[in-house]
Amino acid sequence: MAVSRRRFMQAAGASALVAARRAGAEDETTSPGEGLLSRIGAALYTVRDPLGAQPRETLEAIARIGYRYVEGATRDLDPLLRETGLAQVSDYAPTYVVTGNRAAWAATGFREMLPERHGWSAVVDDAAARGLKYLVFVYLLPQERGGLDGYRSLAAKLNEAGETSRRAGITLCYHAHSFEFEPIDGVRPLDLMLRETDPSLLALELDVFWASVAGVDPASYIAAHSGRVPLLHLKDKAEGVPRIYDDTQVPRDAFREIGRGGLDFSAILDRARAGGLQYAFVEQDFCEGDPLESLRTSYESLRSLLRTA
């Protein structure tokens, strides 16, 4: 069977990417579980309220829990990260710079809009200057979604953005919620985008909660895309939550700390490590109490799990 040049290059790129990510996946001086524990971070969206009120105290508390990394810190927090001993390797990209749909984001009242002259190359250059390794396309507004043709168009834009990122030594990742798993004419948009993009240009930051909410087993999905999932978002899901594709309709009490829900984190982490996982970030979209205590609960569960792995 003839193989197109594009598919051959994608396969070759994927193989090289798998090898590189697996080679660096674990610290050789530690056990597999301990190596991953040293690369567990906290997604700062979890502590968005205390961080805004008391940034230093919040970051110090995250470091005391045991986290080594954070995700989602803005440039102005970089000095505090250094002072508190935290590092950032991944940040969220302004997705409207990739999609070109600034109007949709502006209409939401989003306050951190970049100047119109600020293109993707400038975003990548800034990330590289900060020492980041990953940029994450973190959310697609409803106005930006469309049908399968819309997702094909997005895939083409992600390929272009990924090429620019790769030249700067940064990996572009896509973070899916549940809506990207809802079939359109029998095709899941996320599957389509992964097929339409070069594996060396676009990777995944898989959020295990949102995959599960969409009725997808996270461990199986990671295994199916081995070598393409360098980042994870970790949070647990309450038992009995039905399949929900509209992320705005997920009840707040569905979000649980790791170990307090029904997800199989042993299987998830085993598959992820085998496939070249580099970093994992604990995130809690909604917390019943203190978000720092939520991060502590999840970290302690992960530490117990990984040290017995």
CB 276 within 8 A of CB 227: yes
Question: What is the reported pTM?
Answer: 0.88
The mean of the pLDDT values for the chain is: 89
What CATH number does residue 99 fall under? 3.20.20.150
User: What number is the average pLDDT over the span 214-237?
Assistant: 98
For residue range 74-105, list pLDDT tens digits in order: 999 999 999 999 999 999 999 999 999 899 89
For residue range 176-217, list pLDDT tens digits in order: 999 999 999 999 999 999 999 999 999 999 999 999 999 999
- Domain containing 298: what range? 5-307
Judged by DSSP in three states, 195 sits in helix
Q: Domain count of the chain?
A: 1
For residue range 16-53, list pLDDT tens digits in order: 333 333 334 444 334 455 689 999 999 999 999 999 99
> Which has the higher per-residue pLDDT, 112 or 273?
273
The fraction of the chain above a pLDDT of 70, given in percent, is 89
User: What number is the average pLDDT over the span 259-279?
Assistant: 97
Integer CA distances (angstroms), 275 to 5, 25, 179, 271, in order: 25, 9, 24, 6
Helices 291-307 and 265-274 cross at an angle (nearest 10°) of: 70
Q: Residue 199 phi/psi, 5° resolution? A: -60, -25
How many Å apart are CA 272 and CA 222, to the nearest integer? 6
> Which has the higher per-residue pLDDT, 212 or 14?
212
pLDDT value at residue 17: 39
